[in-house]
Amino acid sequence: MARLLLLNKPFGVLSQFTPADGHPGLADYIDLPGVYPAGRLDRDSEGLLLLTDDGSLQAHISNPRFKLEKTYLAQVEGDATELALEQLATGVTLKDGPTLPAKARRIDEPDIRPRVPPIRERKNIPTSWIELTIREGRNRQVRRMCAHVGFPVLRLVRIQIGEWSIDALKPGEHRQMNVASPKAKPRRSHSVKRKPRPARKRPPS
């Protein structure tokens, strides 16, 4: 069994144990040896960060080829339109290429704790909330996707990765569970067995 930690990472905290550039690290919230982040969450994003002591599970969670769904709640500047949601769902073309189709829908303001510090809102410009589920893990992908369709992200909270959800964890809280470790699949041999060549017949002398 592998040990898995679910952390509600607060805003401004790095996805590493050591602090840097005046920003706190995970050591301020987790005092358990031998666990490491499976993937990352930007410093200015909040929500679910998974940590584990199992290398196979870490790779399964963080490697994009396994395509675990990641669900985010994004507070965006402006009144998100159906056209923008359709573009997000279909996929948009960013500087590093087109994104895969996503699940996107507009939602009411979620019942989550206010961010500390609060977001900066501009007068006379409304904000709205989008729930977005992706299967990729590009750098700042959700922020770039929303900006591409005209709705910059003001606040971003990840609430789920695969089957694991943040549930009622408060910012800075974590819970621990034991899960089955993914078994490494044996590598297939690429060697090809060659058929023996038939013996050459000598010409008659």
Q: Where are the alpha helices (DSSP H) in the chain?
A: 55-62, 82-90, 141-148
Q: Find the mean pLDDT for residues 41-57.
A: 96
Domains 1-67+164-184 and 69-161 share a fold: yes
Amino acid at 142: V
What mean pLDDT do residues 168-177 have? 96
111 tagged catalytic: no
Question: pLDDT exceeding 90 applies to what percent of the chain?
Answer: 81
What residue spans define the domains of the chain? 1-67+164-184, 69-161
The second-level CATH assignment, the architecture, of 1-67+164-184 is 2-Layer Sandwich (3.30)
Within 8 A by CB and 6+ apart from 75, the residues are 119, 127, 128, 129, 153, 154, 155, 156
CB 156 within 8 A of CB 142: yes
pLDDT at position 193, please? 52
Regarding pTM above 0.75, the answer is yes
pLDDT band at 182 (very low <50, low <70, confident <90, very high): confident
* 194 pLDDT more than 60: no
Q: What is the pLDDT of residues 124-162, one digit of tens each?
A: 899 999 999 999 989 999 999 999 999 999 999 999 999
What CATH number is given for 69-161 in this structure?
Answer: 3.30.70.1560
Catalytic choice (42, 53, 54, 79): 42
| Average pLDDT for the chain | 91
If you average pLDDT over residues 21-48, what whole number do you get? Answer: 96
67-102 pLDDT, tens digit per residue, is 799 999 999 999 999 999 999 999 999 999 999 999
- Using an 8 Å Cβ cutoff, are 94 and 145 in contact? yes
The predicted model gives 44-66 an average pLDDT of 93
